A and B are shown apart, each in its own frame.
Chain A
Amino acid sequence: MAGKTLYDKLWDDHLVKQRDDGSALIYIDRHLLHEVTSPQAFEGLRLAGRKPWRLDANLATPDHNVPTTDRERGIEGISDPVSRIQVQTLDNNCDEFGILEFKIKDQRQGIVHVIGPEQGATLPGMTIVCGDSHTSTHGAFGTLAHGIGTSEVEHVLATQCLVQQKMKNMLVQVNGKLSPGITGKDIVLAVIGRIGTAGGNGHAIEFGGEAIRDLSMEARMTICNMSIEAGARVGMVAVDDTTIEYVNGRPFAPKGEQWDQAVEYWRSLHSDPDAVFDKVVEFEAEDIKPQVTWGTSPEMVTGVTGMVPDPSQEPDPIKREGIERALKYMGLAPNTPISQIKLDRIFIGSCTNSRIEDLRLAAAMVKGKTVSPTLKQAMVVPGSGLVKIQAEQEGLDKIFLEAGLEWRDPGCSMCLAMNADKLGQGEHCASTSNRNFEGRQGFGGRTHLVSPAMAAAAAIAGHFTDISEMNH
């Protein structure tokens, strides 16, 4: 019999019951909640007179609607009354049901996918769900983690289980060493560019190979975060020393004897050498250039030295129409060099790229330089209160402020523009977030997805530049 993949192992370890109809009950170890996708779930519990099954598996925080300024005022500082009600509703629900929440004024508040790992609430071998598609982020720890809908949020609260069908296994193997300046963001954008936004549909992706093993946990999280942009709900990386070192000493991580017991189990969380994947895609790390998206889907991406494509060269009629539509929305002519796209704003943040390592990379790029006067705004939004504190201890805030970037309070911010931070109509933004959909960062806004170092370099230059050619 063939060996097991990492996904097979995680699945088997959480299988509560295989049902006759092909569905299965899977046990959930950690459930993360935020204000946008939970109110209707709590309401459902109340209407049915149900209670949460297991309180200590849940952890909540508001992130999507919180402002990135004026935070001393707490909830009162949210100017939009509809947003304020949503954050207040999360507080009320967590208080009523007894769920641990890092509220808006707690320094541990932050983007839900940043705080889980930061607190050690994300541990290898767990199943982790959240009413948010970027829950795939947590797979970087060798967990089975994915987004769910609000009905499933209610289901997990009430039963600690999910009804699931087993997915297929897919391996994305990145061989060799990355060139200088290339990050996890460039890897994952290159992967999506190749396999497409539906390339991982129905599959759990494991990222492996030398280039992945060489990455920090932050970079692995960036990659797993965007596996959903390739259609895969689940993205994973096997557990190794990097994982275990990262987890050690975090508030929710096991201690003493339990730590040793946990580590012993975690060491088994990798695919067996003879495991069989349904699909395998290979990349050579040295071929990956700094990536920039030019369109309205993450698969519409190319290297920074490339050009906006010409739809007349696309044979598939559905794809051709997609390119034409995207170019119209983006206000770009075919064959425009990426470096000539005019930028208006820079956004460094989001659950993809707002961790300490991301901020360090960005700061290194702008240190001692000045933001281009052609830009309207360049902002940095740390992923959590604790990331913010650490960055300030390292003096990163001063580097940003001296260069002319704004230094904000933690939250989702302009990743989806549910708070006050948004693009104006027709504005182009170099953004470290994960989605360049129409209107995502503001009505009529135009998003170009890049790594933090690329965004920071663009802030100085006023346009995209090839950072792999700089000072190496």
Chain B
Amino acid sequence: MKALQQHKGIVAPLDRSNVDTDMIIPKQFLKSIKRSGFGPNLFDELRYLDEGKPDQDSSQRPVNPDFMLNQERYRNASVLLARRNFGCGSSREHAPWALEDFGFRVIVAPSFADIFYNNCFKNGVLPVVLDEKIVDQLFAEAEANEGYELAIDLEANTVTTPSGESFTFAVDDFRRECLLKGLDDIGVTLEDAGVIKSFEDKRRVTAPWLFDAGA
């Protein structure tokens, strides 16, 4: 996994609440058996005017000029600013894969759906929760100033605006550590293989029906 310590980038404001993972990456693209290549279909139904199909050349499709990511000023954005309950719905990890593949490394919102929040960390994308009032302020500033950038520091847990105003955010230690160091968390867990094994052995005795059952 890609590590992330500090990141500074252009902010793209997506002004709607309850953005679900079907909207982030529609189901027809979930047929891929790969982990990459989802970027061109990020927000497909918002971004294009036609119906997206897998294996299409997206550069030839009619784009929705009203959608924020189609505006020149947000083309190179790497920080997504979003509203309440971002990433709700399906558990598809294709959603953070698509965001990351497009170039987003940080998502700032007042709240995230649980599974999506967790999936982001596994893919080098940092979800940052800030108070709704602060998010409102960031929306206003990002929309008013072309080239508006935020600087995110995961070591200091801060988000800093171009004017130098700084906000702190909370993130739990394990996820933070994995993302800072780009750790393979399966490797981390397997360091405890002995503990898992002895838990399992005990369980075979106390709940034997859970083992080797079935047709």
- Which A residues are within 8 Å of any B CB, using their own CB? 16-17, 19, 21-23, 25, 27, 29, 36-37, 39-40, 43, 48, 50, 53-54, 56, 64-65, 80, 82-83, 85-86, 89, 100, 119, 121, 123, 125-126, 131-133, 146-152, 154-155, 158-161, 163, 165, 197-198, 201-202, 228, 231, 233, 251-254, 258-259, 261-262, 265, 297, 318-319, 321-322, 325, 416-418, 435, 437-440, 443-444
Contact = CB atoms under 8 A, between A and B. Distances in A.
B172 to A, nearest CB: 6
B201 to A, nearest CB: 12
B89 A125 contact: no
A27 B204 CA distance: 13
A22 B172 contact: yes
A149 B27 contact: no
Contacts of B31: 36, 65, 80, 82-83, 85-86, 418
A147 B115 contact: yes
A64 B34 CA distance: 17
A19 B173 CA distance: 10
A119 B192 CA distance: 32
Nearest to B203: A27
B212 interface: yes
A161 B191 CA distance: 12
B209 A148 contact: no
B186 interface: yes
A89 B111 contact: no
Given A148-B115, A297-B18, A417 B173 contact: no
Contacts of B114: 201-202, 231, 233
Interface string B86-103: 001111110010000000
B55 A21 contact: no
A265 B207 contact: yes
Contacts of A150: 93
B211 A56 contact: yes
Given A17-B192, A43-B33, A158-B190, 4 more contacts: A16-B196, A40-B33, A163-B185, A325-B16
Interface of B: 16-18, 20, 22-23, 26-28, 30-35, 45, 51, 54-55, 83-85, 88-93, 96, 111, 113-115, 118-119, 122-123, 172-175, 177, 184-186, 189-190, 192-193, 195-196, 199-200, 203, 207-215
A438 B115 contact: no
A319 B85 CA distance: 12
A151 B100 CA distance: 15
A85 B20 CA distance: 26
Given A37-B92, A251-B214, A318-B17, A258 B111 contact: no
A148 B91 contact: yes
A251 B215 contact: yes
A435 B89 contact: yes
* Top-9 shortest CB links A-B: A254-B209, A21-B173, A151-B122, A23-B174, A39-B33, A149-B93, A147-B91, A149-B119, A133-B91
Nearest to B210: A29
A318 B27 contact: no
Contacts of B20: 297, 435, 437
A68 B37 CA distance: 29
Contacts of A440: 22, 27
Contacts of A125: 207
| From B173, B184, B215, residue with most partner A Cβ within 10 Å | B215
A21 B177 contact: yes
Contacts of A36: 30-31, 92
14 contacts: A36-B92, A37-B91, A37-B92, A40-B33, A48-B184, A56-B212, A149-B91, A151-B93, A158-B189, A159-B196, A231-B114, A233-B115, A252-B213, A437-B20
A214 B194 CA distance: 44
A437 B85 CA distance: 14
Contacts of A152: 118, 122
Contact of A252 (B55, B115, B175, B215): B215
Given A201-B85, A231-B85, A251-B214, A22 B51 contact: no
